Amino acid sequence: MHNPLFSGTILLTVAGLITRFIGFFYRIFLSNALGARLLGIYQLIFPVYGICYTLFASGLQTAISKKVAEYHNSSEPGQCIRYLKNGILLSVSIALSLGAALYCFSDRIAISFLNEAECTDSLRVLALAFPFCGVTACINGYCYGIRKSFLPASSQLTEQIVRVLVLYLIAGIAPVSCELAILALVAGEIASCLYSIFGVSLIRQRLPRLTSHRFPESHILHALLSFSAPLTANRLFISLLHSFESFLIPLTLQKYGMEHDEALRIFGIISGMTMSFLMFPGTLTNSLSVLLLPAVSEAQAAGQQKRLEKSIAVSIKYSILLGIFSGFYFFYFGPTLGTSVFGEVLAGTYLACLSFLCPFLYLATTLSSILNGFSQMNLTFLSSVLGLSLRLVLFAVLIPRHSVYGYFISLLISQLFLTFFDCFLVRRFARFPFSATDCIVKPALIMLGCTTFFHSIYRFLLPLTSLPALLLLAIVSIALALTALVLFFITGVCKRDELP
């Protein structure tokens, strides 16, 4: 039986992995073309882009996804397109306002906020992308709501491919600069927007038409704003807290006694190397969370309690399984990954230390999406603020005393609090089935045995084979994943009726 939640998650995950793969080689090319200094200036642009995107697109996309999911299988499926059109109107209006402000005040933002005057022209070019990003985000939200994830996945790839091709063409006729790199980004967003508009027009031809305007446009606008405003505030506030966190970590490491450059080096290893590994499996839970919200909203609106509970239970279970698998893998193979990929021993050591975060980190993403599906954005906001505030307090107290290990302890305690608090909140709205044996005990024992065995195999073969260490690691990792998956099915951890 076809399960759109599962298949959509796989589709978005594959698209996300391909996009990251292309982006990896794009970043290598960009760093060679720009050099370290200009690449740093280029990176300074993205906090501004992230804040603006949060304001004109992030919350509205989620709001459209939820409202469309509620009406898609109702007696009035034609109302879905009204939410899309009104969402686009809101998003583009905000995007144009922010874009005009960024264009006019780019010099002040570059000097006062980014502390780099050379960012001025790049910010002006970036402002051109905002309306197109807003349209694409709204169409993606609409597609998630009607459970058509192919268009968002393919538009994501379209944007990345066009961006890379445009920059390659530019590099063939002129020296690459920050402004031209941002121009390539704008070209990718325009291409993605046009592709999304064409794709959604084809989807609309196969869906029911609007037969009545049962409520005025003001009702739709109010519904979208009332849902998106708390989400936008949440994400904006979290973004600001994360920015403060990035500032606090090197500062507290210096209070421990590190030199300024050493503190920045340690912070760079953690944020640029270790966390990139740790968050990579999160591509799956991020994709799941995007599709889980409309699935919960749709089941709740239709009064399908059993379907709702099963969707929640399966999503939570597989988030935990992914976390347990990743945690054991990073604990055993983390040092090897750090040395083989980045040539940095500390990156692998820190990855092994942070491996205990994995189950809680991936589960928290899923729980947050479930709460949003129940229209509990205020609770999501509350839990995020409490978790991040606790983390910042722990950073200030523990890092000056215990150096980088104080950072690890702070991260673990705050993530535990956030995950269990979100779990408590979700249990208030749905009494889903949960088996600790199938979700925690069995998979933990299986992964303990598998990772111990395959890590021993890797260490045994490494001095005996002429294969590069990274290739051997990839082969062993694939064998480990396949063996663990087979054992999950044999022991009943994974069940066929949970999947399509």
464: helix, strand or coil: coil
Q: How far apart are CA 152 and CA 168, in angstroms?
A: 25
Which pLDDT value is given to residue 2? Answer: 47
Secondary structure of 78-119 in HEC code, one letter for each residue:
HHHHHHHHHHHHHHHHHHHHHHHHHHHCHHHHHHHHCCCHHH
Q: How far apart are CA 498 and CA 496, in angstroms?
A: 5
Residue 175: the pLDDT is 81
SS3 category, 310: helix
**140, 155 contact by CB (below 8 A):** yes
DSSP track, 182-203: HHHHHHHHHHHHHHHHHHHHHH
- Per-residue model confidence (pLDDT) at position 324: 93
Which contacts qualify for 339-348: CB closer than 8 Å, 24 or more apart? 340/469, 340/470, 340/473, 341/277, 341/470, 342/273, 344/269, 344/273, 346/266, 346/269, 347/269, 347/273, 347/274, 347/277
What's residue 328's pLDDT?
95
pTM metric for this prediction: 0.68
Give the pLDDT of residue 213. 55
Task: Tell me what pLDDT residue 8 has.
Answer: 54
Instruction: Tell which residue, 245, 237, 222, has the closest CA to residue 382.
Output: 237
pLDDT of residue 500: 46
175 phi-psi bin (left φ>0, alpha ψ -120 to 50, beta other) = beta
Rounded-to-integer distance, Cα 227 and Cα 67, Å: 9
- Please give the chain's pLDDT, 500 residues, in tens: 445 555 555 566 666 667 766 765 676 577 667 765 666 667 677 778 888 998 998 888 888 888 887 766 655 656 778 888 889 999 999 999 999 999 999 999 888 877 678 889 989 999 999 999 999 999 998 888 887 777 888 888 899 899 989 988 888 787 888 888 899 999 999 999 999 999 888 877 665 555 555 566 777 887 788 878 877 877 787 777 766 666 677 678 878 777 766 776 676 677 657 777 787 776 666 655 555 555 665 666 666 677 777 778 878 888 888 899 999 999 999 888 888 776 778 888 888 999 999 999 888 888 887 887 777 777 887 888 888 889 888 988 888 888 888 888 998 999 999 999 998 988 888 777 778 888 899 999 999 999 999 999 999 998 888 888 888 988 999 999 999 989 998 998 887 655 54
Provide the b/e sequence for 425-457 (b: ≥16 CB within 10 Å): bbeebbebeeeeebbbebbbebbeebbeebbee
